[in-house]
Structure 1
Amino acid sequence: MKAFLQSPVGVIEIEENDGYISSVRFVSEMPEVKAPLSNILNQAINQLEEYFSGERKIFDLPLKQAGTPFQEKSWDYLMTIPYGKTVSYKDEAIAIGSPKGCRAVGSANGKNNIAIIVPCHRVINEGKGLGGYAYGLDVKKYLLKFESQSIDATLFGPM
């Protein structure tokens, strides 16, 4: 079952399988959805809307995506990166016990099917370059800037 959300950076398709969110990805257009949505899809839409309004920093959804043990370890690590923070591919490789595995980490992150919620956009090059992103660097840049501005607003209050 699928649901769609118009976000500030494009249309997001959210897929549920057997009570788990299995995919969150950007798609080119917003189709008409007529069927009623499951509770999990409604929760995902609500949480993503809260994220884009700056109200949500941590997602609380059942997630399931299939991958190799290395990919799953990489994706689990992504969930530990705090909102508004970034780490390098090297930092992630070291943290998951594969200090020479920067490229493998980049590849695993590129196969992450659950964008935003499993925040692979928070991983950048060691020299602070953006690195890659499955949905384009403009989307990655937007998400990183959005999160850092949201943190600044929380620290300093309304201007």
Structure 2
Amino acid sequence: MVKNNIKSFFMHLIISFVFVRIFIIFNQNHVKWASEAAARSHYFLMTFNVIIRIALAGGLYYLLARNYLKNQGNIYRNMLSTSLTAIIGICLWVIAYNNGLPAQGKYLLDLGPWQKLANYLGYSLLFFTESHANNPYVYLPFLFIPTAVMALSIEKEKANKGNCEETLY
């Protein structure tokens, strides 16, 4: 169980690092739109981009967990064996929340602790920057996505192996 936690944490760090690098490469310049239509078009493009990135990250979590993590016997143990990622994320969220919320008219990502949390959740960084989410509770569901996807991936692998063994006999 400890090995799965360590492996899942490093998988999360690698995926987050890759998505933060992609974010930096493609989002270096913020432009001011000349028209409302151009801004709306940009908004729809970025919404589609966010969905694709989160789905791609989910697929990476699924494949990596399926190939490198061991089944612990049931869904609860599998969830516990990948929970380090969520626990560290919750600790970062609590630290950021206790350091304060931004003043009126400022964004959460203007504050250092919230930037660190957004980088820890690198796969959803584009969502946080494009949505200008100022509610700290928006970050919470994203803390549990990697843990849940990895645990379900391990559980799904067990179900597939069980079906293959039944068909052989």
| Fold agreement, TM-score > 0.5 | no
Q: Which has the higher helix share?
A: 2
Pair member with larger Rg: 2
Give me the TM-score of the superposition, normalised by structure 1. 0.31
- Higher strand residue share: 1
